[in-house]
A = this chain, B = another copy of it.
Amino acid sequence: MAQQQQQPPAAQLEAYKSFQYFLVTAVVPGSFVVHVEINRPAKLNAFLEAMWLELRALFRQLSTDPDVRAIVLSGAGDRAFTAGLDVQAASQDGALQGAEGADGARKATALRRHIYEFQECLTAVEKCEKPVICVLHGISIGLAIDLSLCADVRICARDTRFAVKEVDIGLAADIGTLARLPKAVSSFSWVKEVCMTARDFTAAEALAVGFVSQVQDTKAAALESAFRMATLIASKSPVAVQGTKELLNYGRDHSVDDSLRYTGVWNSAALQATDMKAALLSGIQKKKPRFEKL
């Protein structure tokens, strides 16, 4: 369904017109679902510095946009979700440009500032208050893993070629994969293996370890499934959904005791929504509930 609307390409949503590297479109008008596409297909959607800075600005805007309740994130074109960092460009702009000739400590300061900014740009996806469903296909390596781990749900096409590629260019991944992957999948042995060998892994393997929770035959089918899921989520109470996202992310990083305490405080405000009443009433009336914006 939503699928068809892609030919001819949907127009960038008015409020997001200024973004250059990301195409932001409405999936179905009124559905509160937006589709964000990484839009540099000629270069396999490889990331330039300008792109991750734009990513941060984009997801901060989406985070508080009352007309958005669920986001689908994918890569434009047939060949790649993203081939990761545009290494050629990166070697030119260089975090160390200003640090040429500096001593090891000063180079480290320049690098640290650069890494923190890069990390923050990706983390903006995780911190986005609205749920993000990531659709991967084709080449999905390096930064593709870091980025998709900031999304809430990962779905992929059968042809996806995954790799935690960083060791192959001589570095330990530093923008999120090593921090998030051990907490996202089932097997620490497998995590170590793919991160230290940089070997490819398939959609089937990604499903088996829980990195993705669905595999679809094609990119189109994966997108359609994501739109369906996003539309379903967007039809529910945004207070409930956004609270669920926040509390699950908190739960991942804290002890059960700390989580329960935080949950109690969180819901002491959230339960004052009108949503519960609306949900219960619509259940009785067999109507679709309507929730206030958030």
- B-binding residues in A (CB < 8 A): 64, 87, 91, 102-109, 111-113, 115-116, 119, 123, 126, 131, 152-154, 166-174, 176, 178-193, 195-199, 209-213, 229, 232-233, 236-237, 239-248, 251-257, 259-260, 262-280, 283, 289, 291-294
State the CA gap A113–B184 with chains docked (Å): 27
Instruction: Known contacts A179-B251, A209-B210; decide if A105 and B186 are in contact (CB<8 Å).
Output: no
Q: Is the interface of A mostly helix, strand, loop or mixed?
A: helix
Among A87, A126, A265, max chain B CB count under 10 A is at: A265
Question: Which of these, B107, B176, B264, contacts A112 with CB under 8 Å?
Answer: B264
Copies of this subunit: 6
With A154-B189, A187-B184: A172-B105 Cβ-Cβ less than 8 Å: no
Q: Are B273 and A269 in contact (CB under 8 A)?
A: no
Question: Which of the residues B107, B153, B170, B185 comes within 8 Å of A193, measured between beta carbons?
Answer: B153
Chain B residues with Cβ under 8 A from A265's Cβ?
112, 262, 265-266, 269
* Cβ-defined contact, A108 with B269, below 8 A: yes
Chain B's closest residue to A267 (CB) is B174
Given contacts A244-B178, A260-B179, whether A267 and B171 have CB atoms under 8 Å apart is yes
Contact sample, A vs B, 7 pairs, CB 8 Å cutoff: A103-B274, A169-B280, A174-B247, A179-B263, A180-B256, A184-B187, A193-B213
For the complex of A and B, the 10 pairs showing the least CB-CB separation, nearest first, are: A187-B210, A104-B272, A186-B186, A172-B243, A105-B273, A179-B259, A108-B269, A170-B276, A170-B275, A170-B279
Partner of A106, one of B105, B167, B196, B292: B292
CB pair B178–A184 under 8 Å, yes or no, is: no
B169 adjacent to A276 (CB under 8 Å): yes
Of B115, B270, B275, B280, which is within 8 A of A263 by CB?
A: B115
